[in-house]
């Protein structure tokens, strides 16, 4: 039965129900540790490289290098998570990142070596995050998954703020101490996952394996060749095109008002923090208080509201108002993403969760980077308020077209049903020597789907 996996008219799952799952508590704690640790390390490495070289360009490169591996090998490495046990992948990646950060923390390490080690550390993020994304739906059935995704997204945004502040404070005294803190976070994360998560068989058995590149290509084919998944991908990528822009242009935007008795540093901080703050509020409020069926109804208006919130930037408002607009945009995006994630999960057949995560995560990184780059180049020739306002107005038009082509309720239900049917057919091909999750796992209720079926969220 799949009744509790589909949108329903029942009320949303509660935080108590989500955190009652002991495996989720372990994964949540491990993820929070690594999120904070990563941002602490980014702040520390940026300062460390600047102190060593006194080069703004190299300092910026140290920050940007954490995004490059997703472009180089994100989908390919995420495919590895499908081939191996999720718990084993997550623990191994944590230990690898711990070891690499310990090397970065060695005093006197040459800057090129630091950048290379950071690149290698970030490479391990892809399979780790893909495994976690595929594992969560096994732990959280039904609407608990959507609420869990909202919690993760909101806490991830909060971890960014806390990590940057903590990292900057500690790194000012000792960058090495901040890096050792990150290494310790990875060690604790590995322990939490190892002893707090059940060991499940791989999503892909030997009979389904081919070449790694071919399997990766199949992930792209699944996402962009399936109408429902393609619609979700277009929606998510479109949302990323404009929601990142205020954060990316915050420094220049704040300095344009520096002569108006406004501290540019404070203005930049307020603008940059506004989108994550709105995202936190939107994820928690909509995810917790709005019923599943109503979230689906809100998806269309929220999709248009997100870019629409930034259109008033055309009037060149003061930084506080800019921050308010960015916060409203973040609220709207946080409201639609968990719903899109839940539909994405339900519309994927078994054996594609981690690969689909790699495709979506890489696409989001590319889209956000391209949006900041293009708007930054435009802002070199035109006023920033004009660039952001026109860019956002174009986003309203784009989102209107996206929601006009959004699948109807019958198509959504048919897509979920097709994925369930494909998963049930694939379940009969599990090799005899592979243990069945049904023999060892607990069940949440009579309507729970087979816990041996990995699921996936796009973010």
Query: Span 311-322, mean pLDDT?
Result: 89
Averaging pLDDT over each range in 164-178, 234-248, 379-393, which range is the top one?
Answer: 379-393
- In 389-454, beta strands by DSSP E: none
310-348 as b/e: b if 16+ CB within 10 A:
bbbbbebeebeebbbbbbbbbbbbbbbbbbbbbbbbbbb
pLDDT tops 80 at residue 184? yes
pLDDT of residue 228: 84
Contacting residues for 85 by C-beta, under 8 A, at least 6 apart: 199, 200, 201, 202
Q: Is the per-residue pLDDT at 459 higher than 90?
A: no
Contact 392, 265 (CB under 8 A): no
| Structural contact between residues 454 and 134, judged by C-beta atoms closer than 8 angstroms | yes
**Which carries the bigger pLDDT value, residue 418 or residue 107?**
107
The whole-number pLDDT of residue 341 equals 77
- What is the rounded average pLDDT of the residues 172-192? 89
pLDDT at 208: 57
Highest mean pLDDT among 151-160, 161-170, 388-397: 388-397
- The per-residue DSSP string of 251-313 comes to HHHHHHTTTTT--HHHHHHHHHHHHHHHHHHHHHHHHHHS-HHHHHHHHHHHHHHHHHTTGGG
Q: How confident is the model at residue 456 (pLDDT cuts 50, 70, 90)?
A: very low
Q: What pLDDT score does 310 carry?
A: 93
pLDDT, average across residues 27-39: 88
Residue 410 confidence class, pLDDT cut points 50, 70, 90:
confident
Provide the residue count of the chain: 459
- 142-151, 201-210, 282-291, 393-402: which has the highest mean pLDDT? 393-402
Residue 98 — pLDDT band, cuts 50, 70, 90?
very high
Mean pLDDT rounded to a whole number for the chain: 76
Render pLDDT for 231-289 as a digit per residue (tens, 0 to 9): 888 898 888 888 888 877 776 777 676 555 666 667 766 777 788 788 888 877 887 77
Token pair 């048919």: residue = 414
Q: Pick the closest to residue 15 from 146, 138, 137, 136 (CA basis).
A: 146
Between 343 and 447, residue with greater pLDDT:
343
pLDDT of residue 23: 92
The predicted model gives 221-225 an average pLDDT of: 79
What sign does the CA torsion over 354, 360, 363, 364 have? negative
Mean of pLDDT values over 21-36: 91
The arithmetic mean of pLDDT across residues 378-397, rounded, is 89
pLDDT > 70 fraction of the chain, expressed in percent and rounded: 76
The pLDDT of residue 188 is 95
pLDDT at 6: 42
Whether the pLDDT of residue 191 is over 50: the answer is: yes
pLDDT at 25 over 60: yes
Q: What is the pLDDT of residue 2?
A: 35
Reported confidence tier of residue 436, pLDDT bands at 50, 70, 90: very low
* pTM of the model as a whole: 0.63
User: Which percentage of the chain shows pLDDT scores above 90?
Assistant: 16
pLDDT of residue 134: 77
pLDDT of residue 455: 35
Distance CA(290)–CA(159), nearest Å, equals 25
For residues 190 and 290, the model is more confident at 190
pLDDT, greater one: 63 or 326: 326
Tell me the mean pLDDT in the region 64-79.
Answer: 67
Instruction: Flag the least confident range among 1-15, 145-159, 175-189, 426-440.
Output: 426-440
Among 112-116, 322-326, 406-410, 422-426, which range has the highest average pLDDT?
322-326
Average pLDDT rounded to a whole number, residues 339-353: 74
In the predicted model, what is the mean pLDDT of residues 378-386? 85
């Amino acid at each position: 039965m799949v009744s509790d996996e589909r949108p329903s008219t029942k009320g949303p799952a509660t935080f108590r129900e989500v955190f009652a799952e002991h495996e989720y508590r372990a994964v949540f704690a491990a993820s929070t540790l690594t999120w904070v640790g990563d941002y602490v390390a980014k702040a520390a490495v940026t300062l460390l490289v600047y102190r060593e070289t006194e080069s703004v360009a190299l300092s910026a490169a140290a920050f940007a290098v954490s995004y490059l591996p997703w472009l180089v090998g994100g989908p390919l490495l995420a495919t590895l998570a499908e081939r191996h046990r999720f718990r084993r992948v997550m623990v191994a990646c944590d230990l690898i990142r711990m070891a690499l950060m310990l090397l970065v923390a060695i005093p006197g390490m040459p800057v090129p070596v630091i950048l290379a080690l950071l690149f290698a550390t970030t490479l391990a993020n892809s399979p780790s995050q893909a495994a976690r994304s595929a594992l969560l739906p096994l732990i959280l059935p039904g609407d608990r998954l959507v609420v869990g995704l909202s919690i993760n997204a909101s806490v991830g945004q909060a971890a960014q703020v806390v990590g940057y502040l903590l990292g900057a404070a500690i790194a000012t005294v000792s960058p090495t101490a901040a890096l050792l803190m990150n290494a310790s976070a990875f060690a604790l994360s590995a322990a939490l996952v190892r002893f707090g998560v059940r060991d499940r068989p791989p999503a892909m058995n030997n009979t389904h394996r081919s070449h790694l590149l071919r399997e990766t290509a199949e992930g792209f084919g699944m996402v962009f060749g399936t109408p429902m998944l393609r619609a979700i991908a277009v929606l998510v990528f479109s949302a990323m095109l404009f929601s990142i822009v205020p954060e990316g242009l915050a420094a220049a935007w704040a300095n344009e008002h520096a002569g108006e008795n406004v501290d540019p540093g404070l203005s930049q901080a307020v603008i940059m923090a506004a989108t994550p703050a709105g995202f936190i509020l939107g994820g928690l409020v909509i995810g917790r208080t709005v019923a599943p069926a109503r979230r689906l109804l809100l998806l269309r208006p929220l999709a248009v509201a997100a870019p629409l919130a930034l259109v008033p930037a055309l009037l060149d408002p003061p930084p506080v108002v800019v921050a308010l607009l960015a916060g409203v945009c973040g609220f709207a995006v946080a409201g639609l993403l968990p719903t899109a994630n839940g539909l994405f999960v339900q519309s994927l057949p078994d054996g594609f969760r981690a690969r689909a995560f790699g495709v979506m995560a890489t696409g989001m990184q590319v889209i956000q980077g391209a949006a900041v780059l293009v708007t930054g180049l435009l802002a070199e020739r035109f006023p920033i308020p004009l660039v952001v306002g026109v860019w956002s107005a174009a986003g309203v038009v784009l989102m209107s077209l996206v929601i006009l082509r959004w699948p109807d309720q019958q198509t959504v239900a048919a897509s979920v049903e097709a994925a369930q049917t494909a998963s049930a057919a694939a379940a009969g091909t599990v090799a005899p020597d592979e243990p069945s999750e049904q023999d060892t796992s607990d069940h949440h209720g009579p309507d729970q789907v087979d816990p041996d079926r990995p699921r996936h969220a796009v973010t």
